[in-house]
């Protein structure tokens, strides 16, 4: 076949406006916002801009981040629990440097570092959990766990809890307990049934039909508003699942690796799951990493032998850099005894928040375990009623937590956010090395907000109107 010489010699050049990495890191805030509004999620960019959350952060270390103006912030959001070891921990960066010349992606081989990470996970997880599948995110870990449960059990039905959050991919979304995130994507994966969190009678009613592959739950509901299960709930769940031949999947994606004061939250109740999901802080705050781990027996039922070895795979799962970050993260958590630090400083934080609750009626509840803490607010009287826009009542239900988070960010330079399934709750999930002195700064900032809440919520009403006007213009 003859090749046209002019086509053969034609060079591919960078298009006008192409941004190099050197230019990318030198962009200003306005350029970053414009890129997001034009090429990414415009609605999200608008939402963050309304609360002045569209700052440009340029440096991070430990619990601190700095914006492009040089202002310093305390990060009490912690990437929703992904920063147990803090921002840019030097030992994680050193681990990446150690493997930088190794092949990162090479499927026709057995990953050297991935095998070591899997061995370490088997050593630190409870009971006889042994075989891991390493992936890239929490949603992937949940997807894999659900697939494994169906393959190993021969059953199809899946049970999950109301108020739960397990991810936004189609399978994980099917077992996520908030209709807002499900409605646009229906029909979801069939055979999924919800029960109230903490309701053993409702759970047994479904389990005794003996058609359920797995019951998936969080040992503390994160996006549900930092909900602690009733005493004795998890052990009884374990007993019921065993009784009716249902696999128990415990989602430790947000609670795991020290966050709640133990290495895994299920260990507070001495409960051993059949399958455990991990992610977030497994990547050391730097690399995307997730995993699910199960027993040798369950693994062999699902994927044992060469015939079934390729039923569930991932191109990037277990890549060298992510596995190296995972090993370093586990070393840091163990050697720095971060679970115990989380227990001690978490008790200190909850104690301080409880004092604020007793003092200020605006605070409806404070709850948590370790450094996974939520503050729930009462609706301020008259805020919605006095607003002159019909949407204000509905909007205030989704707005109050973000108002407090906005005040913490804009006035006190403290980063937090509300929980997705309960927007009247803001979460406090700092790196596990946080000090009591840093916690005191947050407690004082919250007291300043609560002490002046009348003026604050007067401004909030105006803010709600501005948001409604912005939506109307769109």
* The architecture CATH gives domain 28-40+65-81+338-473: Alpha-Beta Complex (3.90)
Which residue spans within 289-431 are E strands per DSSP? 290-295, 363-369, 372-377, 414-415, 417-419, 422-428
- What separation in angstroms does the CA of 379 have from each of 263, 298, 384, 395, 416? 36, 47, 9, 12, 19
Residue 282 pLDDT exceeds 70: yes
- What token pair was written down for 287? 């690399």
187 preceded by cis ω (within 30°)? yes
Q: Measure the CA–CA gap between 80 and 371, rounded to whole angstroms.
A: 11
Query: Domain 90-335 has what CATH class?
Result: alpha beta
Task: Write out the catalytic residue numbers.
Answer: 165, 251, 280
Number of H helices, E strands in the chain: 20, 15
The pLDDT tens digits of the residues spanning 358-373 come to: 999 989 999 999 999 9
Residue in 403, 137, 474 with CA at minimum distance from that of residue 289: 137
Distance, CA of 101 to CA of 283 (rounded, Å) = 19
The residue to which tokens 């150690």 are assigned: 98
Question: In the prediction, which pLDDT does 50 show?
Answer: 81
- Choose between 116 and 458: higher pLDDT: 116
3-class DSSP state of 68: coil
Predicted confidence band at 455 (pLDDT cuts at 50, 70, 90)? low
Do 132 and 292 meet the contact criterion of CB atoms below 8 Å apart? yes
- What rounded mean pLDDT belongs to the chain? 91
Long-range contacts of 346-351 (CB under 8 A, 24+ apart): 346/260, 346/261, 346/370, 346/371, 346/372, 346/373, 348/436, 348/439, 349/373, 349/428, 349/439, 349/442, 349/443
Question: Average pLDDT in the 64-73 region?
Answer: 97
* pLDDT over 70 at 87, yes or no: yes
Q: What is the mean pLDDT of residues 92-117?
A: 96
Token pair of 101 as six digits: 């010349």
Q: Helix 400-412 vs helix 436-451: angle between axes, to the nearest 10 degrees?
A: 120
Domain range annotation of the chain: 28-40+65-81+338-473, 90-335
Whether the per-residue pLDDT at 469 is higher than 50: the answer is no
CA distance 81 to 90: 19
CA distance 364 to 368: 14
pTM of the predicted structure, to 2 decimals: 0.92
Q: How many degrees, rounded to 5, is the angle at CA 40 between CA 34 and CA 46?
A: 60
Residue 381 has pLDDT above 60, yes or no: no
Distance between CA 73 and CA 75 in Å, rounded?
6
For 196-353, strand residue ranges (E) read 212-217, 247-251, 275-278, 290-295
Closest to 158 (Cα-Cα) out of 197, 215, 206, 238: 215
């Amino acid at each position: 076949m003859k090749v046209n010489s002019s086509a053969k010699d034609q060079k591919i050049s960078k298009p006008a406006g192409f941004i190099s990495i050197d230019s990318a890191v030198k962009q200003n805030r306005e350029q970053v916002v414009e890129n997001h509004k034009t090429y990414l999620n415009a609605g999200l960019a608008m939402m963050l801009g309304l609360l002045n959350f569209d700052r440009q952060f340029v440096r991070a270390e430990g619990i601190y981040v700095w914006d492009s103006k040089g202002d310093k912030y305390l990060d009490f959001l912690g990437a929703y629990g992904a920063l147990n070891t803090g921002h840019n921990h030097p030992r994680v960066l050193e681990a990446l440097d150690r493997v930088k010349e190794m092949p990162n992606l090479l499927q026709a081989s057995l990953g050297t570092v991935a095998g070591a990470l899997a061995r370490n996970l088997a050593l630190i997880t409870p009971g006889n959990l042994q075989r891991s599948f390493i992936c890239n995110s929490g949603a992937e870990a949940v997807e894999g766990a659900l697939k494994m449960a169906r393959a190993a059990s021969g059953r199809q039905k899946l049970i999950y809890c109301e108020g739960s959050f397990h991810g936004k991919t189609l399978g994980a979304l099917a077992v996520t307990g908030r209709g807002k995130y499900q409605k646009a994507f229906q029909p979801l994966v069939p055979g999924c049934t919800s029960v109230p969190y903490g309701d053993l009678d409702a759970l047994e009613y479904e389990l005794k039909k003996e058609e359920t592959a797995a019951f998936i739950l969080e040992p503390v509901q994160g996006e549900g508003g930092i909900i602690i299960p009733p005493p004795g709930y998890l052990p009884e769940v374990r007993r019921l699942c065993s009784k009716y031949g249902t696999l128990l999947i415990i989602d430790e994606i947000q609670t795991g690796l020290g966050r709640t004061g133990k290495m895994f939250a299920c260990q507070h109740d001495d409960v051993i799951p059949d399958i455990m999901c991990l992610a977030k802080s497994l990547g050391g705050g730097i690399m995307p990493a997730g995993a699910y781990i199960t027993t040798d027996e369950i693994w062999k039922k699902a994927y044992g032998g060469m015939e079934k070895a390729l039923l569930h795979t991932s191109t990037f799962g277990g890549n060298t850099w992510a596995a190296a970050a995972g090993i370093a993260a586990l070393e840091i958590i163990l050697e720095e005894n971060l679970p115990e630090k989380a227990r001690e400083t978490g008790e200190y934080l909850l104690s301080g928040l409880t004092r604020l609750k007793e003092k200020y009626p605006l605070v409806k509840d404070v709850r948590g375990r370790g450094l996974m803490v939520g503050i729930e607010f009462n609706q301020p009287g008259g805020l919605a009623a006095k607003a002159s826009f019909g949407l204000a009542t509905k909007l205030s239900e989704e707005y109050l937590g973000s108002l407090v988070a906005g005040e913490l960010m804009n006035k006190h330079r403290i980063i937090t956010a509300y929980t997705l399934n309960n927007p009247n709750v803001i979460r406090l999930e700092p790196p596990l090395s946080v000090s009591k002195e840093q916690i005191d700064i947050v407690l004082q900032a919250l007291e300043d907000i609560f002490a002046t809440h009348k003026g604050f919520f007067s401004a909030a009403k105006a803010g709600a109107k501005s948001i409604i006007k912005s939506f109307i213009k769109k």
